[in-house]
Structures are given as C-alpha cells and as structure tokens.
Amino acid sequence: MNAAATVRAYYDALRAGDPLHPFFADGEETVKVGIGNQALGADAIETLLTEQTETTAAWEVDSRDLRVTEHDSFAHFFDEVYMGWASLPKNIRYGFETRWTGTLVPGEDGDENWQFVSMHVSTPARSANAGGGR
C-alpha cells in the first residue's frame, strides 16, 4: 500500500469505527493533533483514539483535495475534509470543515506499510456546526 492508500485507508477505518492507532508509528515522538485535543507518543495516541472510537459513531469523512507526495524515506500529505460524527451516548451531531496535514514513514516492512509520524487536523474559525451536521 502506498502513502496515499494509507491515508484513504485511515479515512475508511474512521468511518467504520475500526481501530485507528495501528496507523501511527511506534515511538515517543509520534504526534497527533486534532480539533480540541493532542497526543504525543504512541501510547497517548492509542489512548486518545480508543476513547474517540468508544464515544463517537456515524462518522462522515468527505475528502475533497487529497495530495500526497512520496519521497524515499517519508511522505507528506494535505487534504481538505468535511468530517462529521455523533457523540455518544447523547447522539449529538457535530460537523466541521477541516484541513489535514501530516507526515508518514515506511513501516518496518519497507514502503508496503506506511505509518503516520505526525497528523494535524485543524478547522477554520467558525466552521463548527453542532447539532445538525451539514
């Protein structure tokens, strides 16, 4: 799987409610920054993403401009993504226009298994839409 396929697979896993932490490289310097949260290190990322999966449902991830550039030892990506979800147990719907950036490195098995070493999700001011989705 190339780096672009890894990003798409991450989106698919998010939609499906599948575990997300396997997409991130082991290590204390791996970082994930989301809307309103951040985690540094593989263990903290696993905790954050496990809690997210347990407390959310019905994810919508609409990629609009995925751009991935691969180099020999790393890849970087950018995307504009509409994402929405329902928080549990109250089933309150949230939606955001977001920008995603990040860096991936080949996994231990070479470039067949790319993993994120950084991911940053941000939203322009005032794009939140709580309660109704789009």
Q: Each residue of 118-133: pLDDT tens digit?
A: 999 999 865 455 555 5
pLDDT confidence of residue 130:
53
Question: Would strands 31-34 and 110-122 be described as parallel, antiparallel, or unpaired?
Answer: parallel
pLDDT confidence of residue 21:
96
Instruction: Give the pLDDT confidence of 40-83 residue by residue, as tens digits.
Output: 999 999 999 999 999 999 999 999 999 999 998 999 999 999 99
Q: Residue range 90-105: average pLDDT?
A: 95
Domain ranges of the chain: 3-122
Q: Is residue 109 very low, low, confident or very high in pLDDT (cuts 50, 70, 90)?
A: low
Residue 94 has pLDDT above 70, yes or no: yes
Phi, psi of 96 (to 5 degrees): -145, 140
d(CA 86, CA 58): 6
pLDDT confidence of residue 110:
59
- Report helix, strand and coil shares of the chain as percent, to nearest 5: 25, 45, 30
pLDDT confidence of residue 107:
82
Phi, psi of 5 (to 5 degrees): -65, -35
d(CA 7, CA 102): 10
Residue 7 or 113, more confident? 7
CATH fold of the domain at 3-122: Nuclear Transport Factor 2; Chain: A, (3.10.450)
Instruction: Give the pLDDT confidence of 2-15 residue by residue, as tens digits.
Output: 999 999 999 999 99
Q: Which amino acid type is present at position 68?
A: V
d(CA 45, CA 39): 5
Two structure tokens written together for 99: 């920008």
